[in-house]
Amino acid sequence: MSINGHYDVLVIGGGPAGMMAAGTAAARGLRVLLIEKNDVLGRKLSMTGGGRCNITNAEYDVRALLHHYGEAEQFLFAPFAQFSVADTVTFFENEGMALKVEDRKRAFPKSESAQDVTDTMIRFLRKQGVEVLLSTAVEGFVTEQARITGVVTEKGVIRANAYILACGGRSHAHTGSTGEGLSWLEELGHTTHDSNPNLVPLLVEEVWVRKLSGTTLSNVSIQFAQGTQRVKKNGNILITHFGLSGPLILNVAHEVKQLLVHGAVTATIDLFPEEDIGSLRTRFQELYEAHPNKTVENLLKEWFSKKVIEMVLYPFPVEVRRTKGHALLRDVRHQLIERMKHITCTISGTMGYDWAIVSDGGVDLRDIDTRTMQSTVHQNLYLVGDVLHINRPSGGYSLQLCWTTGWVAGNSV
């Protein structure tokens, strides 16, 4: 498309926050240009939720929902009073996309397709008459006194009355989120917090972990320890070829990173967090008495999958797995039970930006009027989505933040 004249609103970044902001502003009759550096819109959005897109969290109680946004909770009452989870669901239903809710209130499109969500947003932009300029990177802002008067691109300076910055954070940079927006905001006089990978898998030093790639450990506990500091969580853990992942790990990564500042962290997994050693010993005895001819390996099949058995038996000599349960020496039996309660590995780091669902850091919320998402430093600048400094867990909270802040900016600009 050719750039034609002066716009009311210029949106930088065609992710979920930018598309929601652009469409909402255009729906009010404003002339809106959306600039995206990729040759497609919503590249990251199309890969969310493992390709299924966890589009929001169906927690309709605003107070309960906002509790998940940590220190940002108070700032978010104003935007969520204008565009809530219920509004998100209605928005997508009106755009022809039905949603369904799964465990932990995670909402997905019924089609289970993240690409459908992107396509729905693109149809919304077309319907509202948003002009879209693809394959064009914004290189910076032009300012005069306290106003932004244009953005620099390879196609020249493009001007508008107001600007919405929606260029994301730093996670999965290959999708286009390379973080330059944060440097511009610093130059403009905004306070920003250092960016860090967050909701990120953890790297494990020991090689045995790799052999178990694809295994899920259900209803376990994991304790992370560094010096005298401890962090303990219960839930499901996914073992991958490099370490540990899954919602429990992603959500605790923030705390583990703080422990990692002081050195490697020891993780101890308890496969039976609800049961003490005494009760487990009794259960194991009942098991081998009930199956006197079964080897240890076969007995453990009553409790675990093949890969978890490998993990449990890893430090033991091979004879142990072939021994019949009742013939095991008492000490070895006790070591086996002890192992189920204390499987240790060393966490040497996180998987970094390329694997992080989000990066924390971003512009300080005190620099924003969250009733409008307007910058308090530059009156004609609005900030939305991942450029904001807001920590949150996995479960649809990130995209909800994009829908809400995008809508509020689009409706206020």
Nearer to ligand FAD (CB atom), residue 181 or residue 325? 181
What's the CA gap between 241 and 284, in Å, rounded? 31
Closest distance of CB 122 from ligand FAD, Å: 13
Element (H, E) at 10: strand 7-12
User: Nearest CA to 165 among 190, 145, 182, 147?
Assistant: 182
Q: How many CA atoms lie within 13 A of 409 on its CB side?
A: 35
Length of the chain: 413
- Full DSSP string of 138-175: EEEEEEETTEEEEEEETTEEE-EEEEEE----SSSGGG
Spell 144-162 as b/e; 16+ CB within 10 A means b. Answer: eeeebebbebeeeebbbbb
What's the count of helices (H) and strands (E) in the chain, helices before strands?
Answer: 14, 21
Cα Rg of the chain (Å, integer): 25
Query: Residue 410, interface with ligand FAD (CB under 6 A)?
Result: no
Which one, 325 or 395, has the nearer CB to ligand FAD? Answer: 395
Close Cβ partners of 118 (under 8 Å, ≥ 6 residues apart): 41, 42, 45, 46
The rounded distance, in Å, linking the Cα atoms of 149 and 381 is 10
Residue 113 C-beta: closest distance to ligand FAD, Å: 12
Q: Is 37 in the site for ligand FAD (CB under 6 A)?
A: yes
- At its nearest, how many Å lie between ligand FAD and the CB of residue 358? 5
Q: How far is the CB of 58 from ligand FAD (least distance, A)?
A: 12
Contact between 201 and ligand FAD (CB under 6 A)?
no
The distance of closest approach from Cβ of residue 22 to ligand FAD in the complex, given in angstroms and rounded to an integer, is 11
Looking at 25, 132, 402, 409, which residue binds ligand FAD (CB under 6 A)? Answer: 402
Rule CB under 6 A: say whether 173 interacts with ligand FAD: no
- Min dist CB 52 to ligand FAD, Å, is 7
Q: Is 238 in the site for ligand FAD (CB under 6 A)?
A: no
Write the interaction track for ligand FAD spanning residues 153-172; mark x where CB under 6 A is met and - where it is not: -------------xxx--xx
Closest to ligand FAD by CB, 130 or 358: 358
Q: Could you say which of 48, 128, 196, 198 contacts ligand FAD (CB under 6 A)?
A: 48
Residue 256 and residue 259: Cα distance in Å, rounded?
A: 5
- For the window 331-370, what string marks contact with ligand FAD as x by the rule CB under 6 A? --------------------------xx------------
The C-alpha atoms of residue 193 and residue 185 are separated, in whole angstroms, by 11
CB of 309 to ligand FAD, least distance (A): 31
| 23 binds ligand FAD per the rule CB under 6 A | no
- Residue 100 CA: distances (Å) to CA of 53, 93, 398: 11, 11, 18
> For the chain, how are helix, strand and coil distributed in percent, rounded to 5?
40, 25, 35
Range in contact with ligand FAD (rule: CB under 6 A) among 42-50, 312-320, 344-352, 374-382? 42-50
Compare residues 142 and 290 and give the one whose CB is closer to ligand FAD. 142
Residue 218 C-beta: closest distance to ligand FAD, Å: 21
> Under the criterion CB under 6 A, does residue 46 sit at the interface with ligand FAD?
no
Regarding 132 and contact with ligand FAD (CB under 6 A), the answer is: no
Tokens standing for residue 342: 């204390």
CB of 33 or CB of 220, closer to ligand FAD: 33
The residues facing 192 across adjacent strands are: 363
Instruction: Measure the CA–CA gap between 106 and 98, rounded to whole angstroms.
Output: 14
Among 10, 22, 25, 53, interactor with ligand FAD by CB under 6 A: 53
Residue 116 sits in the site that holds ligand FAD (CB under 6 A): no
**207 φ, ψ to 5°?**
-75, -25
Site for ligand FAD, rule CB under 6 A: 12-18, 35-38, 43-45, 47-49, 53-54, 137-138, 166-168, 171-172, 176-178, 180, 357-358, 385-386, 396-399, 402
